[in-house]
Structure 1
Amino acid sequence: MSDIDPRIVQLLGSEAQELLTYSAQGFVKEHLHLPGPAFVDRVLLNSDRSPQVLRNFQSILSHGRLRNTGFVSVLPVDQGIEHSAGASFAANPLYFDPENIIKLAMDGGCNAVATTLGALASVSRKYAHKIPFICKLNHNELLTYPNHFEQIMFASVSQAYDLGATAVGATIYFGSEDSDRQIVEVSEAFHHAHSLGMVTILWCYLRNNAFKKGGVDYHSAADLTGQANHLGVTIKADIIKQKLPTTNGGFTALQFGKTDDRVYTQLTPNEKSVGHPIELTRYQIANCYMGRSPLINSGGASAGESDLADAVRTAVINKRAGGMGLISGRKAFQRPMNDGINLLHTIQDVYLDSNITIA
């Protein structure tokens, strides 16, 4: 641990020793398909993905400060729809102009930028050849009253292709009343995207008010999010985006679905009250076909002064669990641009530090 960047160690605080030296027990690292410079050749080449999909996947891995490491850092900005533009950009009004979103991703050394059809289309001729575009196809808009959990298609795959997107992204709210429609729509969209050579990325989120019980929010439970990931790779998501797990035992606490006691006793060893975060995240990866479809964890909401430490903690857990990287938005763009660039670079430094190894 003494060889690890001291700034990273300092930001981890009292958790540094535990997170940086932990050895995973549930799934051993040798059973995973881990990120690395030859990930496309080693893991994806024998799949049915076309040469164009492989090329576009490699173009994402070959961009930004993490190029050719096998890891990714992505800037996602769809909060203008998902959380309202005012709530998202009032802290930093320059991001009402989508060109500044692209500039932040480029200056921040990101592998790609993920945002809306309108945002990418407004500047596509200037930037589509400079940084990989991920066009987010569907959204849950908050103007409908009362609010609901429904992802609606705002864009078509053809529109994403025409503006020069390398990949398309979509969200499914697994567990919601509307999830059946979303699964069918996104599956069809991903098939179309693959036929045009684009990479597919799925936000595998859970949404159901019943997933909160006894003061615990099971939307981020390892067993539930792991199953969401497994559904996501089933419709051929090339990359899975998921929240970092914060608890476990959703199936047992909510008393629905099916599970197995070995999930909690053997596959996510319960050394802490809710399980070790690296074990919980590795369970998410195991459900991504053992990493054949790599996992990127979301950076979460901005909490102010703790953002940098929180982002580094998430990156360390993701990397040591066997994930491919972080997709962090609000922590970066809801602050002055130079501070946002510094935060993105610090996240990337975790993945660039060869002394932070797979657990």
Structure 2
Amino acid sequence: MPLDVPPAERREFMDNYSSLTGGKGRLMLFAGDQKVEHLNDDFHGEGISEEDGGPEHLFRIADRARIGAFATQFGLVARYAMDHPDVPYIVKLNSKTHLVRTEQAEPLSLQWMEVDQVAELKAENGLRIMGVGYTVYLGSEHEAVMLREAAQLVRRAHRHGLVTILWMYPRGKGVADEKDPHLIAGAAGVGAALGADFVKVNYPRGEDAAERLREAVRAAGRTGLICSGGERMGVEAFLQRLHDQVHISGAVGNATGRNVHQKSLDEAVRFCNAVYAVTVDDATAEEAMRIYRDG
């Protein structure tokens, strides 16, 4: 229990944390923030289900699949959650598009909404909003601004009993390799210093990535480390990599986006259920493949 959660909100915080992690401390986060981050690149094109063209596809998946929570922006929650009130939500409080490249300007993503506004949306509508999320681009010349916003966001969220997840991505002209394992470990440590409950990082490069990710898990300490799902890949390879992240690296979960929602609704639900089984239920990759195939 973080000490910045006030006594009156500690039951709320523990209920949110337990629900997010299936009571086992592991998080399967369905990431749906790419509507801003990647524009429509991830939602239309070759190999992408036509169902993915509309935002409600994300909500239908989150409503039917086994997930810890669905992460997306405030506006989408406000527009669609009335039809999907039982979905557990993480509200992403900052986002930026990929149109401004690093060569053009150092990355900067400022907070759109206040935590108090998220708490109001939750209270006024009885929604299952479990927490909030925020991205920090370490290495950007604007990192100091984002670090301060992230620190204040964590503190304010905890005052409301909300769980916090920080996307910690090294990015900027001075960053030579965003997926360097030692740098990722540094980013995880910064997330811990900010007081986050979970820190989301990219998976390192290389065949020994699962072993090298252990440095980041140790650096995160009591902050749970989860890995980004990354680019689209085959189901069997994804599930095996996820199993290695949890059982070799010691990560406590994953945040998976395009590998889920680019599929049809039925396939996406089966895939989520398989990912959840590996993450929370200690299923092997082979057992999870049977869940994916058989539903």
With the shorter chain as reference, the TM-score category is 0.7 to 0.9
Question: Alpha-carbon deviation of 1:199?
Answer: 1.0
Aligned in 2, Cα 1:354/1:336: closer, same or farther, shift over 3 Å?
A: closer
Preserved contact between residue 225 and residue 251 of structure 2 (Cα < 8 Å): yes
Aligned in 2, Cα 1:287/1:53: closer, same or farther, shift over 3 Å?
A: farther
Q: Which runs of 5+ in 1 are unaligned?
A: 1-43, 213-217, 248-273
Partner of 2:178, secondary structure, is helix
Aligned in 2, Cα 1:159/1:96: closer, same or farther, shift over 3 Å?
A: farther
For residue 230 of structure 1, what is the aligned residue in structure 2?
189
1:302 maps onto 2:258 in alignment: no
1:166 maps onto 2:150 in alignment: no
Preserved contact between residue 56 and residue 167 of structure 1 (Cα < 8 Å): no
For residue 72 of structure 1, what is the aligned residue in structure 2?
27
Preserved contact between residue 4 and residue 159 of structure 2 (Cα < 8 Å): no
Aligned in 2, Cα 1:180/1:113: closer, same or farther, shift over 3 Å?
A: same
Residues in 2 aligned to 1:239 and 1:199: alpha-carbon distance in whole angstroms: 8
Letter in structure 1 aligned against 2:60 = K
Q: What TM-score does the superposition give when structure 1 sets the normalisation length?
A: 0.69
Question: Alpha-carbon deviation of 1:108?
Answer: 2.0
Larger Rg: 1
Q: What TM-score does the superposition give when structure 2 sets the normalisation length?
A: 0.83
1:288 maps onto 2:220 in alignment: yes
Q: Deviations over 1:59-116 (max 9, x none)?
A: 35336xx7233322111111111111x2122134544543331221232211110001
The alignment yields a C-alpha RMSD, in angstroms, of 2.4
Q: Percent identity?
A: 24
Partner of 1:185, secondary structure, is helix
Preserved contact between residue 226 and residue 252 of structure 2 (Cα < 8 Å): yes
Question: Alpha-carbon deviation of 1:279?
Answer: 2.5
Question: Alpha-carbon deviation of 1:47?
Answer: 4.0
Preserved contact between residue 53 and residue 199 of structure 1 (Cα < 8 Å): no
Question: Alpha-carbon deviation of 1:322?
Answer: 1.9
Q: Which runs of 5+ in 2 are unaligned?
A: 123-128, 286-295
For residue 141 of structure 1, what is the aligned residue in structure 2?
97
Q: How many residues align?
A: 271
Letter in structure 1 aligned against 2:231 = A
Q: Deviations over 1:281-331 (max 9, x none)?
A: 211111112xx111111111224xx2x133213311221122211110011
Residues in 1 aligned to 2:172 and 2:10: alpha-carbon distance in whole angstroms: 34
1:278 to 210, 229, 234: 210
Residues in 2 aligned to 1:328 and 1:136: alpha-carbon distance in whole angstroms: 15
